[in-house]
Amino acid sequence: MTQVLEPVPPTPVLQLTGIRKSFNLGQANENEILHGIDLTLYPGEFCAVIGPSGSGKSTLLNTIGLLDRPTAGSLRIHGIETTSMNDAALTDLRGHHIGFVFQYHHLLSAFSALENVVMPLYADAGFLTPAMQERATALLDTVGLTPWLHAQASHLSGGQQQRVAVARALVMQPALILADEPTGNLDSKSADSVFELLRRVCREQHTAVLFVTHNPLLSARCDRTLQVIDGQVVV
């Protein structure tokens, strides 16, 4: 009889276990913002993060993005435990495995769209190659900006600038994209366009996406929704 092997489940891109985050630790005004967050995210999963202002969403994203260290708990990226890493190792892991898209695009306004997208590759290697420029060019084509490759970032519309920011977030081929209100400053048509772009990238490149939004119409179109209230995940 032929043995049927069970499929091996994929390694989670992100795994949080009991994550807590306090500020002013050990002081009279110590304040715990995150209270034991558990979360597992797999390749290609698109997860909305919703919750009222002040609920801990930004603290959660900063912790997942390795910008803040958790006070307690386990945080794994691709199975790698990060909580005991030094700052240099965290910076390296963040630069190669996590992409960020914020509410404001944070482009270098005096540089072209292509120069903005290729910048993370240049910063990582310390030099620029034709292959790097080709990758950045291909990504800008993916986000529909080929005609604006050499346009100065400040001359682009808000929606176009945010598309450049998405391409820049993808140029290092990260396993995880953290999108913090990326459509918050856009009109409804541009917001829908940027959302669909992230969805398509998620499907085609199997990139996991955490998408923070206050827009219930967008969160309803995600694979699942994580609701954060008072520093806890509410099911």
DSSP state of 152: B
| CATH code of domain 43-67+96-225 | 3.40.50.300
Q: How many other CB atoms are found less than 10 A from the CB of residue 27?
A: 9
First and final C-alpha spacing in the chain: 44
CB-based contact 112:147 (threshold 8 Å): no
Full DSSP string of 84-115 = T--HHHHHHHHHHHEEEE-SS----TTSBHHH
pLDDT tens track, the chain, 235 positions:
566 556 656 789 999 999 999 998 888 888 989 999 999 999 999 999 999 888 889 899 999 999 999 999 999 998 899 999 999 999 999 999 999 988 777 889 899 999 999 999 999 889 889 999 999 999 898 888 999 999 999 999 988 998 899 899 989 989 999 998 888 877 888 888 888 888 888 888 889 999 998 888 889 999 999 999 988 988 6
Structure tokens given for 56: 């801990």
Q: How many other CB atoms are found less than 10 A from the CB of residue 120?
A: 20
Kindly compute the dihedral angle of the four CA atoms of residues 82, 228, 45, 83, in this order, to the nearest 10 degrees.
Answer: 0
Structure tokens given for 35: 């209270």
Q: Which run of H or E residues covers position 34?
A: strand 31-41
Global pTM? 0.86
Residue corresponding to tokens 């913090």: 180
Structure tokens given for 177: 């994209």
Sheet containing strand 80-81, edge to edge, reads 31-41, 14-23, 72-77, 80-81
CB-based contact 56:113 (threshold 8 Å): no
Sorted by sequence, the CB contacts under 8 Å of residue 134 that are 6+ apart come out as none
Report the C-alpha gap between 50 and 61 in whole angstroms.
12
